[in-house]
């Protein structure tokens, strides 16, 4: 339902959100402030808000579907659930203001008040779009580069390092986090604060054999398993 030619819809539709929604919101603010721009740009701003708001809801629904496949980016998902409703409030207030002031050169107290409310909501839409976009970029790109400490998988002879579970248990803090998963040992220290699902999920498995926890959270998902490989430091004895 949320695929286009085999590609997930979410990363495609978010571009409409991050471009149209803030641009239209800023246009609405400008029209509220500058009277001579209203006749030309107010209608376009409201139209842009309609498309941006619909796109925000589509992005939210398609994002939920994508998260079920690749894992839940907690911060991004939480913000993404709020943005469509902030956009909808902005759209409603902006549309009411537009029709109140349309065809009249005189601004009544009601029109001014509605314009002010629409402008404030528009500021909220711009801010939320920035936050959602930033959290989404962090979820996608935040953990793509392995660190030197996480890539040492062999000793000087080229033989893979082996560790006992007792050794793994010694690294049981978020600032020094090892975990064993399916017979492999991973140094997840640098992944704790980058994990799309939130730091708590990784902190909870530090110093443990997390095979079962990983399977429950990411069973059948390819991306989490692929991301995990960069943090492998050896095998479990």
Boundary residue ending a domain (116, 141, 166) = 141
- Are residues 200 and 164 both part of a single domain? yes
Do 13 and 110 sit in the same domain of this protein?
Answer: yes
How far does Cα 211 stand from its chain's mean position?
Answer: 26
Domain count, the chain: 2
Quick: pLDDT tens for 194-227: 787 778 889 999 999 999 988 888 877 777 877 8
Q: Please give the residue range of the domain that contains residue 221.
A: 148-236
Number of Cβ within a 10 Å radius of residue 79: 18
Let me know whether 167 and 63 are in one domain.
no
- Tell me the CB-side half-sphere exposure of residue 192, using CA atoms within 13 A: 18
Exposed, middle or buried: residue 57 (CB in 10 Å: 0-12, 13-18, 19+)? Answer: middle
Are residues 128 and 155 located together in one domain of the fold? no
User: 180 and 107 share a domain?
Assistant: no
CA 59, CA 10: separation in Å to the nearest integer? 5
Instruction: State the CB neighbour count (10 A cutoff) for residue 130.
Output: 12
- Among candidates 107, 90, 110, 104, which has minimal Cα distance to 45? 90
Average pLDDT over residues 121-134: 93
pLDDT tens per residue, range 163-172: 999 999 999 9
Summarised one tens digit per residue, pLDDT across range 59-99 is 888 887 776 555 556 677 788 889 999 999 999 999 999 99
DSSP H or E stretch at residue 3: strand 3-4
The percent of residues above 70 in pLDDT, for the chain, comes to: 83
Q: Check: pTM over 0.85? Answer yes or no.
A: no
- 69 with 126, same domain? yes
CA distance 236 to 162: 6
Confidence (pLDDT) at 74: 61
Contact status, residue 25 vs residue 46, Cβ threshold 8 Å: no
Contact criterion met (CB below 8 Å) for 137 and 18: no
> Per-residue DSSP letters for 163-224?
E-HHHHHT-EETTEEEEEETTEEEE-GGGTTT-TT-HHHHHTTTTEE-HHHHHHHHTT-HHH
- Mean predicted confidence (pLDDT) in 28-50: 93
Last residue of a domain, one of 86, 113, 141: 141
pLDDT of residue 188: 92
């Amino acid at each position: 339902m949320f695929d286009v030619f085999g590609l997930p819809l979410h990363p495609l539709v978010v571009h409409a959100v991050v471009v149209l929604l803030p641009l239209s919101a800023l246009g609405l603010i400008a029209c509220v402030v500058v009277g001579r721009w209203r006749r030309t740009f107010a209608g376009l701003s409201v139209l842009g808000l309609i498309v941006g708001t619909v796109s925000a809801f589509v992005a939210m629904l398609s994002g939920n579907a994508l998260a079920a496949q690749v894992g839940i980016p907690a911060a991004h998902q939480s913000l993404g659930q709020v943005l469509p409703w902030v956009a909808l409030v902005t759209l409603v207030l902006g549309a009411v203001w537009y029709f109140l002031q349309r065809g009249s050169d005189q601004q009544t107290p009601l029109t001014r008040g509605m314009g002010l409310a629409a402008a404030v909501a528009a500021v909220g839409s711009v801010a939320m779009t920035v936050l959602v976009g930033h959290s989404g970029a962090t979820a996608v790109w935040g953990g793509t580069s392995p660190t030197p400490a996480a890539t040492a998988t062999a000793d000087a002879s080229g033989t893979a390092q082996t560790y006992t579970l007792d050794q793994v248990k010694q690294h049981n803090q978020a600032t020094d986090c090892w975990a064993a998963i399916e017979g492999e040992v991973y140094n997840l220290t640098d992944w704790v604060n980058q994990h799309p699902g939130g730091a708590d999920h990784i902190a909870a498995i530090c110093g443990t054999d997390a095979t079962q926890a990983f399977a429950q959270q990411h069973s059948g998902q390819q991306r989490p398993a692929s991301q995990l490989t960069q943090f492998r430091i050896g095998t479990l004895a």
